[in-house]
């Protein structure tokens, strides 16, 4: 694996991540150096826009466009705010997603360098890495990397002899999924309840403590040093027919070798699943999959040749999301899978808006009865209504719409399973288990 092919992960060493000096010998901090010494903030912004980099946190929003909304001020402008903030969203809690952890634990300096570049571009003087609290090891390693950076004048005042000063902190979260939503993250950083904010105003105008703020995903940011080092042409060439750059894809479920792999953007599902993840485990067949984490729609075997990029997956009826496949085999119950996912979302609902707060547990109630065999025909209508009730525009943020994506696609693709549960009053997947023998009633295998 060369850097040119696998820029994000080629320096990953989970056992013992590179120290600052080793990281530098491997070419680290060259991107930051280039930005600070050779480019103005505007030039870096143009570079990033030109590169076509899109957010890797799930929304796929063009990074350059996000940054261009940050207000810029002349040096002696009285209106300039005292602080501008760059925040790395390291609150990785989407089920089926573990790519950021890989980067944070494996090559923490890469994120530090990325944030220096990002902060330089938006003229931010303070940064926070909002880190999922359970990632203890990452917290430790990140802080170590930050300490080293301070010692070597890569953080703090007048970085590498330039006018640019930047302070960076690690903040470990107290632990809610909703903190992955950027404005809820900002509220949590302020010490408030983790409730998303209404937009507008956007964080670039009024973010952390009401100041201009940009929140980016860890993987997104990690591309910056490489774009700076090798240029936009290289970045685009990494995946000529698709979105630019590479993507860390993952696969979990009953596959032979679950894991993660950095591949060109637009690699097909088939390649990820069969070439890298080794295909389904013995005795199992592919039933369906969620292409990008728990809050994406199901895709079927017929979609295997779809490139894993934002547009193609969207056209297929789902979302790229975080690019981590959650694979459903033919011996696992789709209803149970969806129930498991919705339970998570109901648990993690922040409780602000009515459709999510009261709709997700309602869906749990219905699915539980269906899975236990006490479902009724009307319940399917209820589930459809709930999917409609919790859709985009009706809720305060995207948690609930994400929650119903697996549900509504399961109702579309796996309707027989739902109907079977209802008609036969049991889950036919519970074969030869203690559960099945406890069930009374008529159950075919």
Partner 1 sequence: MGDKKMAISQNVTVYIDNVAYQVSKDNNLLAGVLSQKLNLPYFCWHPSMGSVGACRQCAVTQYQDENDTRGRLVMACMTPVSDGMRIGLKENSAEKFREQVISAMMTNHPHDCPVCAEGGECHLQDMTVMTGHSSRDYQGSKRTFNNQNLGELVGHEMNRCITCYRCTRFYNDYAGGKDFGVYGSRNQVYFGRQKDGTLESEFSGNLVEVCPTGVFTNKVFSAHYTRKWDLQSAPSVCAHCSVGCNTSIGERYGSVRRVMNRYNSNINGYFLCDRGRYGIGFVNGEERIKKAKGINQQSPEQLSRLDVSKALAHFRGKRFIGIGSARASLEANVYLKKIVGEDYFSAGYSHQKMKVASVQQKLLQQAQLSGEIFSLSDIEKCDFILIIGEDITKSSPRMALSIRQACRNAGIDKAAGLGVVSWQDSAVRTISGKLNTPFFSMHTTATKLDELTEQHLLLGPDDIEQMVLVLTNAIYSLINENFNNEHEKQLSKLSTNQQLFISRLTHKLMAAEKPLVVTGDSLASVKILAAIEKLTHCLTQEKLKTKLNLVVLSAASNSFGLLSLLDKRSLSTEQVLNQLTAKEVDGIICLEQELAAFTDDELTQIREAADIVIVLDHTHSRVTDFADIVLPVAAVSEGNGHYVNYQGLVQRYNQVHSPALPILDSWKWLALIEESFESSTMATAILRKKNLEPINNLDQLHRYFEESLSDWPLANPPPNNDPVARMTTRGSGRTSQAANSSIHEPKVTQDQELLYRFSMEGNKPNTNNAMPFTWAPGWNSNESINHYQVEIDGPIINDNKNENYLYFKHSLSGLTPDGEERTENKVEPDNSPLVYFPQGSLFKGDWQSANTVEFQILTHDPDKHFTLCLSKKLAERKGWNNGQWLKIITENENIIGRLNYDENLPEHLAYGDINELANKNTGINIKLAEAINVDVVEQQNNRQRLYQQAKDSQKKVLQQLKSFDQHIPIRFVAGGLDET
Binding site for partner 1 (CB under 8 A): 176, 193, 197-198, 200-201, 205-206, 209-210, 346-355, 357-362, 365-366, 369, 382, 385, 389, 393-396
Residue 267 or 360 with smaller CB distance to partner 1: 360
Minimum Å gap between C-beta 14 and partner 1 is 33
Give whichever of 198 and 434 is closer to partner 1, judged by the CB atom.
Answer: 198
Compute the half-sphere exposure of residue 170: CA atoms within 13 Å on the CB side of its CA: 24
Q: Which is nearer to partner 1, 165 or 354 (CB)?
A: 354
DSSP H helices in 84-206: 99-106, 108-122, 136-151, 182-189
Supply the minimum distance, in Å, between the C-beta of residue 223 and partner 1: 30
C-alpha span between 72 and 59 (Å, rounded): 25
> In angstroms, rounded to a whole number, what is the distance separating the alpha carbons of residues 145 and 108?
6
Nearer to partner 1, 177 or 298 (CB): 177
Minimal distance, residue 125 CB to partner 1, in Å = 17
* Shorter beta-carbon distance to partner 1: residue 3 or 365: 365
| Cβ distance to partner 1 smaller for residue 197 or 276 | 197
Q: Considering all CA atoms of the chain, what is the largest pairwise distance in Å, rounded to the nearest integer?
A: 79
Bridge partners for 259 per DSSP? 251
Round to whole Å and give the CA distance between 250 and 95.
12
Residue 210 C-beta: closest distance to partner 1, Å: 4
Contact (CB, 8 A) for 96 and 58: no
In the complex, the smallest distance separating the C-beta of residue 193 from partner 1, rounded to whole angstroms, is 7
Closest CB to partner 1 among residues 36, 404: 404
Nearer to partner 1 among residue 345 and residue 414 (C-beta) = 345
Instruction: Please report how close the Cβ of residue 352 comes to partner 1 at its closest, in angstroms.
Output: 5
Quote the least distance from Cβ 409 to partner 1, whole Å. Answer: 21
Contact (CB, 8 A) for 204 and 66? yes
In the complex, least distance from residue 387 CB atom to partner 1, rounded to whole angstroms:
12
Across 14-69, the runs of DSSP E, i.e. the strands, are none
Question: Which residue, 204 or 306, is less far from partner 1 as judged by CB?
Answer: 204
Looking at the Cβ atoms of 173 and 267, the one nearer to partner 1 is: 173
Contact 337, 421 (CB under 8 A): no
82: Cα separation from own chain's centroid: 31
What are the DSSP calls for 387-433, one per residue? HHHTSTTTSSSSHHHHHHHHHHHHHHH-HHHHHHHHHHTS-TT-TTS
Query: How many Å apart are CA 23 and CA 113, to the nearest integer?
Result: 10
Q: What is the 3-state secondary structure (H, E, C) of 308-335?
A: CCHHHHHHCCCCCCCCEEEEEECCCCHH
| Cα–Cα distance measured from residue 338 to residue 380, given in angstroms and rounded to the nearest whole number | 14
Q: How far is the CB of 363 from partner 1 (least distance, A)?
A: 11
Least distance to partner 1 from the beta carbon of 293, Å?
Answer: 20
Closest CA to 289 of 277, 22, 99: 277
- Closest distance of CB 319 from partner 1, Å: 20
Find the Cα–Cα–Cα–Cα dihedral 414, 415, 420, 426, rounded to 10°: 70
Q: In what order do the strands lie in the sheet with 246-253?
A: 259-264, 246-253, 324-329, 286-290
Tell me whether residue 94 or residue 348 sits nearer to partner 1 (CB atom). Answer: 348
């Amino acid at each position: 694996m060369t850097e040119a092919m696998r820029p994000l992960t080629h320096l990953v060493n989970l056992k013992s991540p590179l120290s600052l000096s080793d990281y530098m010998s491997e070419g680290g901090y060259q991107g930051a150096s280039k930005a600070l010494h050779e480019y103005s903030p505007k030039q870096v912004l143009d570079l990033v826009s030109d590169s076509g980099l899109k957010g890797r946190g799930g929304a796929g929003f063009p990074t350059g466009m996000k940054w261009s909304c940050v207000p810029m001020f002349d040096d002696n402008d009285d209106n300039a705010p005292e602080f501008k903030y760059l925040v790395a969203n390291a609150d990785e809690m989407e089920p089926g997603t573990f790519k950021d952890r890989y980067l944070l634990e494996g090559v923490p300096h890469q994120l530090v360098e990325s944030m220096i570049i990002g902060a330089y571009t938006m003229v931010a003087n303070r940064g926070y890495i909002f880190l999922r609290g359970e990632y203890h090891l990452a917290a430790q390693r990140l802080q170590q990397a930050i300490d080293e950076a301070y010692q070597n004048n890569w953080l703090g005042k007048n970085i590498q002899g330039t006018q640019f000063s930047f302070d960076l902190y690690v903040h470990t979260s107290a632990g809610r999924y909703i903190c992955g939503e950027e404005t809820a993250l900002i509220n949590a950083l302020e010490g408030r309840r983790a409730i998303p904010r209404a937009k507008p105003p956007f964080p670039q105008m009024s973010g952390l403590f009401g100041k201009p703020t940009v929140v980016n995903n860890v993987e997104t940011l990690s591309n910056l040093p490489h774009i700076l080092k090798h240029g936009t042409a290289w970045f685009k060439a990494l995946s000529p027919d698709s979105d630019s750059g590479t993507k860390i894809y993952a696969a979990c479920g009953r596959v032979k070798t679950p894991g993660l792999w950095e591949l060109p953007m637009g690699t097909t599902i088939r390649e990820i699943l069969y070439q890298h993840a080794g295909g389904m485990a013995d005795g199992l067949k592919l039933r369906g999959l969620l292409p990008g984490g728990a809050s994406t729609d199901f895709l079927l075997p017929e979609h295997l040749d779809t490139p894993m990029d934002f547009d193609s997956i969207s056209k297929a009826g789902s979302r790229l999301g975080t690019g981590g496949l959650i694979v459903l085999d033919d011996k696992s119950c789709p209803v149970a899978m969806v129930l498991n996912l919705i339970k998570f979302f109901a648990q993690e609902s922040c409780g602000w808006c009515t459709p999510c707060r009261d709709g997700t547990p309602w869906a749990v109630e219905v699915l539980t009865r269906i899975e236990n065999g006490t479902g009724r025909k009307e319940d399917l209508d209820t589930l459809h209504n709930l999917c409609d009730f919790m859709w985009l525009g009706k809720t305060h943020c995207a948690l609930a719409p994400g929650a119903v994506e697996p549900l509504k696609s399961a109702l579309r693709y796996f309707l027989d399973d739902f109907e079977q549960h209802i008609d036969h009053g049991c889950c036919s997947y519970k074969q030869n288990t203690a559960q099945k023998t406890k069930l009374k009633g008529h159950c075919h295998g």
